Structure 1
Amino acid sequence: MTGSDGLTSGRFRGSQPVIGLMGAPGSGKSEVARALTGEGCAVIDADVLAREALEHPEVVAVLRSWLGEGVVDGEGRVDRGAVGAVVFGDEASRRRLEGLIHPRVHAERARLRSGYVGDPGVVAIVEDCPLLLETGLDGECDVLVFVDAPRSVREERVYRTRGWSAAELALREGAQIGLDIKRERADYVIVNDADPEHCRVQSRRVLSQILSSCSSE
């Protein structure tokens, strides 16, 4: 049975809903995550955890052996841009990197989530993960939210914030499940193509609907 909000009755597994946050590079997921944080949600950011994993000495050593000294800067830290230039053009290398990084990210995710469960100050737990569907993390979420924006907007954002060309954006999107599939799988869609306040209003509205659905079960 599906309720008027589009959610299936009985789907929430606890008093704190777990929200899976999806979106293409440049869609503005971080803006939505900040808005949800401001409303009392605990956000687990997979990108942040992945960056932290790349700083681990064992990971640095493995990447040096796989990809050469060119992926490490003068301070002995992994150059994420150099790594990306290699792995996003070679599926085998990308999967090898994911096999190295993902277990560390998953372990830290689990540790963080266990600390949030039951915390009265946390109204919901948000899994902000670019590869939510690809890694099967959606199966641990009660509801999925997709952050959308026109391609032209996303291209401008990633060029301004990350220095990516349109071709680089297309390459990275091509390594993920199609955006049409992610949008179709989502319970809610937030269109982030205007000013930050408009995004915050939508985010608060969606969270309110999710919490209302959760409390009614």
Structure 2
Amino acid sequence: MNVIGLTGGIAAGKSAVAARFAELGARIIDADALAREVVEPGTPALAAIVERFGPGVLDATGALDRAALGAIIFGDDAQRLALNAIVHPAVREAYARRVAAIEAEDPAAVTIYDVPLLAEARAASEFSAVIVVDAPAATRIERLVTLRGMERPAAEARVAAQIPDAERRAMADHVIDASGSLERTLEQVDALWESILAERAAGIPSA
């Protein structure tokens, strides 16, 4: 199955774009949802995390205490890489299962993988096309402050911690400019969807 990757920097508007694609009929696989599923109580990944980082990363119910784990890995590249070595393979396996299930149910489906860290954790070559939702860093910082209530220094740090926008755009087959109004952003999604459907009908790869 051809899967289209969808990515974008924090507060760029990727979630709104993914929701619109879902409304139009795309099958969305949410990388964040998969990352939560693979560390649910009873999963091998959670057991491996506890073995690596200790029982203090569990809350009173036996679920992963994300704040406690975050405190351990924050600013420590070795710890972060150790966590990624556990979680990323589990997410890849869950992703493969989800793709196979969609293919079995509807071989003609347009499947989009909504993955924030595509540039950091996946290769563009894994997808039939990559869509990047783009907005300037200053715009994204302002959205984090006004819409999510973050303190400006924290918002600036979150944006600065991600890869440069130019690097993300360089891997794109399609760029959705989400710097303006939501209406304008969704118009671009609608137009791209029609293009994807036309290319699929003609047997042309989505790129």
Please give the TM-score of this superposition, normalised by the length of structure 2: 0.81
The whole-number CA distance in structure 1 between the counterparts of 2:39 and 2:197 is 35
- 1:41 corresponds, among 22, 26, 32, to 26
- 2:4 corresponds, among 19, 34, 39, to 19
1:144 alignment partner in structure 2: 130
Change (3 A) 1:180 1:192: same
Contact 2:103 2:109 in 1 (8 A): no
The amino acid across from 2:116 in the alignment is P
More deviation in 207-216 or 103-112? 207-216
- Note the residue ranges of structure 1 that are not aligned, 5 or more in a row: 1-13
Which string of whole-angstrom CA distances, capped at 9 and with x for unpartnered residues, describes residues 105-157 of structure 1?
11111011112226548541101112223333422211111111232432344
Provide the identity percentage.
35
The CA deviation at 1:67 is 3.5
1:7 alignment partner in structure 2: none
Cα RMSD after superposing both structures: 2.8
Alignment of 1:160-199 (within 5 A): 164-169=150-155, 171-172=157-158, 176-199=162-185
* Alignment: residue pair count: 202
The amino acid across from 2:136 in the alignment is P
The whole-number CA distance in structure 2 between the counterparts of 1:25 and 1:203 is 18
Change (3 A) 1:171 1:43: same
- 1:109 corresponds, among 83, 95, 99, to 95
- 1:71 corresponds, among 57, 60, 64, to 57
The CA deviation at 1:160 is 6.3
Contact 2:124 2:171 in 1 (8 A): no
The whole-number CA distance in structure 2 between the counterparts of 1:185 and 1:95 is 23
Matched, 1:210 2:196: yes
